[in-house]
Structures are given as C-alpha cells and as structure tokens.
Chains A and B, each alone.
Chain A
Amino acid sequence: MLLIACPWCGPRDEIEFQHGGPSHLQRPEPFDAVSDEIWGEYLFFRDNPKGVQKERWLHAYGCRRWFNLARSTVTHEVLAAYRMGDPAPAGLLEPPATGGLA
C-alpha cells in the first residue's frame, strides 16, 4: 500500500488517488503542421520506464486536484510529489551516479 503525499492535503492512502499517465507530455504544435507520425507518437507512444517515472495523479477522493509524482515503477517508492506546472525536482530523477549502495 502506498502512502502518497498530496501537495495540498498531505500524506494519504493510495486508494484515495487515481493514476493518470506520464507527466510533462508536450502537445506538438502548430496543429496544422503536425504529421500523422508525430501525432501518433504523442497520443500513444510512451517511455514506460523500468525505473523512475514522472506521472500525473488525481486526488480523486480528497481535494480532487491533479499533481505530479516521481515514483519508481520497480520498487513503487514515491520520490517526490510536486504541483502541476512546477518543474520536476532536480537530482531525484537520475539513478545514483556511483554504484548505489557502495
């Protein structure tokens, strides 16, 4: 069971939340110059990383606001929660540069 820290409400149980796919996807522009390939890529293709993913969550049974989470898809560890529109916190998202647990 995850404990997720909503940026507005604080730590709450995972059953209050809904996962909403990866964050920071940029809609390609201008609309009349977007090819089928670029549009298909934007709509459907995903990094689906085995590791840290930045993703959108909705506090569905709480404040009903969207926010971002940096979460490991391997351990499910939540590394950071930050508001929509904020940049992803630096440093958290890269794997340790030197051998991890050494």
Chain B
Amino acid sequence: MTRYSAWSVLREGFNGQRGWDLAWRSPEPKARYDVVIIGGGGHGLATAYYLAKNQGLRNVAVLEKGWIGGGNSGRNTTIVRSNYYYPQSAKIYDFSLKLYENLSRALNYNIMLSQRGIVTTTHSRHDLESAARWVGAMNLNGVPAKMLTTAEVKRRVPLLDVSPTARFPVLGGFVQERGGTARHDAVVWGYARAASQLGVDIIQNCEVQGVERSREGRVVAVRTSRGRIESGKTAMAVAGHSSVLAQMAGFRLPVTSYALQAFVSEPLKPVIDTVLLSLATGMYISQSDKGGLVIGGGLDLYPSYAQRGNLPVVRDVIGAVVDQMPSLGRVRFLRQWAGIVDVVQDSSPILGETPIPGLYINCGWGTGGFKAIPAGGWLLAHHIATGTPHPIAEPFALRRFFTGELIDEAAASGIAH
C-alpha cells in the first residue's frame, strides 16, 4: 500500500496520479473471525486498529451497516478537547487528546488536527463561579486551563458582543489551549486504512440483523445482511443504536437516543480562529478550513431515531448565534443535519463487558463521541484482548449503575444535556 508523504505526492504529481492504491480493502466476509466489531464508525475502526496494532489480533472484522464515515463520524462538529471535571473523565479524555496529538504520524494520515484552543464564555456570576471551579479541577487533574477576562475573550473572539447591554453579557471565560478541531472524515478514513493494512477486514453495507448465542449464553455469531459470521469475541460500537443492538442480544442499557443537530454556513473569510462555546446558550462555533462556520447546540427535546432535527432547537441555536455575534446575522446556512446520540444519565461513556458473555460494548459518549475515538478504541481493544479492563476504562463499566459509582459529568461536559 502506498505510504503517504510529501515525496509520494510529488511523485504522483509527475505520474498522472495513477499510482495510488485504494485506502482500504473491501473483502467478502469470512465465515469466522476472532473478533467481530459491529459499527464502522470512529470507535469501531479505532478498536479494530488497536486490536491489530497493540494486541496483535489480526483476524478481525468491522461490520458497517452503511458506509465508512456515513453515520455520526460524518455528522459531528469535529471538536476535540478534554475539559472535563472529574479525575476519571480527565484521565480518559486527556488520554484521547494525547493520542490525537500524535495520530497523523501514527496512522500515516493527515487528520488535520488544529489545536486552536477552546474558549468557554460565562454570562452570569454563577457561570463564572462554576467556570473557576471547573478550571481549578482541570488543573488539579493535570489538564492545563486558564481563566480569561472579558477583554481577553473579546481579543480572542472579536465577533462576540461583550458590551454590558448585550443579550448575553460576557463576564469572562476560560480556555483549554490544547483543544481544537480535527478533520472528522480523515480520522475514520485514517483508522480504516491503517486497520486494513494490518489485516482487518472492513465490511460495508453489512447490517447486523441478529445475534446468535450458545446454550451457555455466549455470543457465537452474528446474522447479517451479508450472511452469518461466527465470532470468537464480539464488540459493539453503534452509538445511538446501542439499545437496538442490545435488544437483539438480550439485554438493556441505561441509554436514551436523541437527535443532536449541527449546522454549517456558507464559506466566509476567516472570522474566528478558536472554538467558542457559550455556557448560557450551549451554542458552539468554529470555522472550518473551507471557511464554513460549524455550529452546534443542545440536544433535541425528545428521544428520536430520525436523523433530522426539530425546528425549535434550530431556532434556539440560530438565535444564540445572532444574539451573541450580531455581525453574523445575515450569514446563510448551507446545511443542517442531525446524528443520533446515545445519552446516559451521568453523561459518561460505557466501556467494557455486557451482561452477555463474549459481548463487549463501547457506547454512551452522548454528544461528544468524536473527541474520544482514539481512547475508546485503545481501551476497548485492551479489554477484548486481555480480558481485563484497562485502568483508565475501569470506572466506566456498566456495573456503575448498580453500585451507584456514577461519574456525573452532566454540567462539566460543556454542553446542555
């Protein structure tokens, strides 16, 4: 397979671009794999890649219902950050961010990581106090962050109306400088290509329709739209459809599926060079390399499996943009879409074993799965291969809902849930 480099770009430039290989193979499914991963999004592909790379398991398949990059991997707002509150969360999200920081090199694929900082603004005394507490916790957890004055916020984001008469006056804020954006398609394509190179079979248009269990209850095979596939161990990383798959396998999850919307504007000249998140409205915004403003907000108002958003939330998000950055009032949107996210009561992920022997799960990232792709993959691969949870993943086991050891990130995860 062609290695990507400045040299290969130059060579192919002279060569009429005829020497590039397909980024990954599309083989027919085999009858049996040591590990079958259901879900070809970022988390599933990363799990396969780290199974092959870190754990030496090469007889692995990733089954994707649609196509690679067609689900939530292509529907997120590309933000990476690790500004969480609790020590367990700081460990897992910062581990993920550190993997992101070296991911282009590791995958030989430019994921266009841009650590442009994430600025969170506060709009009331209460916001400001909780932000100070939040920054204190982050620094104690070894994740650098610092408070910003109103003037510093204004200097970083000149678009913001910070006047005292603004609809949402800015009382200050804080920044995580290592936060930023990465190209979402590149992350999944990069993992798919690197996993395929290590021998992982990526099987698209392959919908899992049933789960076969042995007399002892262990998962032994999955029935798919492309036939029956036996599996030694099975993992699921299907985000908003986790409950549907769990029902097929015979258990329930503490998950509710909601639509989360995002928007992109027509391309503009550079107007914002950081990621901005407003605590009052939950609106967040960054500018893509193509110039489009990528905008998100809170969840839709009721559970949904429809990949389209409802209008009241559209109005709220657009209203927040226009109230806080009046100069964007006449910018037109190009697209609006929604992904189905798996929201858990404590807004923390579920990683590890399920009640069904031989079936592992990665879900519950809710509104923020993209930033966690490298960690989710790495940690679940460790658990699948070794049979024991990685220490970073251990607090996120499903059994926390019986022991009460919840990791309640509802407020600190940065956007309204």
* Residues on A facing B (Cβ under 8 Å): 1-2, 14-15, 18-19, 21, 36-37, 39-41, 43-50, 53, 55, 71, 73-76
Contacts and interface: CB of A to CB of B under 8 A. Distances in A.
Given A41-B252, A45-B252, A73-B306, 6 more contacts: A40-B401, A44-B254, A45-B253, A50-B241, A50-B243, A53-B303
A11 B262 CA distance: 29
Contact of A73 (B253, B301, B303, B403): B303
B254 A45 contact: yes
B242 to A, nearest CB: 8
A14 B254 contact: no
13 contacts: A1-B310, A21-B256, A36-B404, A39-B402, A44-B254, A44-B401, A47-B243, A47-B252, A73-B303, A73-B305, A73-B306, A74-B306, A76-B310
A4 to B, nearest CB: 10
A49 B256 CA distance: 9
Contacts of A2: 310
Nearest to B342: A48
Contacts of A19: 301-303
B197 interface: no
Dominant secondary structure at the A interface: mixed
B310 A48 contact: no
A48 B312 contact: no
Contact of B305 (A44, A55, A74): A74
B302 A45 contact: no
B345 interface: yes
B252 A46 contact: yes
Interface of B: 241, 243-244, 247, 252-257, 301-306, 310-312, 345, 401-404
B255 A46 contact: yes
Contact of B244 (A18, A37, A50): A50
B304 A76 contact: yes
Contacts of A73: 257, 303-306
Contacts of B310: 1-2, 14, 76
B302 A55 contact: yes
A36 B305 contact: no
A21 B252 CA distance: 16
Contact of B312 (A15, A36, A46): A15
Contacts of B247: 47
Nearest to A51: B305
User: Which 10 A-B residue pairings sit nearest by Cβ, starting from the closest?
Assistant: A48-B243, A44-B254, A19-B302, A40-B402, A44-B401, A45-B252, A40-B401, A50-B305, A36-B402, A73-B305
Contacts of B402: 36-37, 39-40
A76 B307 CA distance: 11
A3 B244 CA distance: 27
Contacts of A41: 252
Contacts of B254: 44-46
Contacts of A14: 301, 310, 312
Nearest to B251: A45
Contacts of A43: 345, 401
Nearest to B300: A19
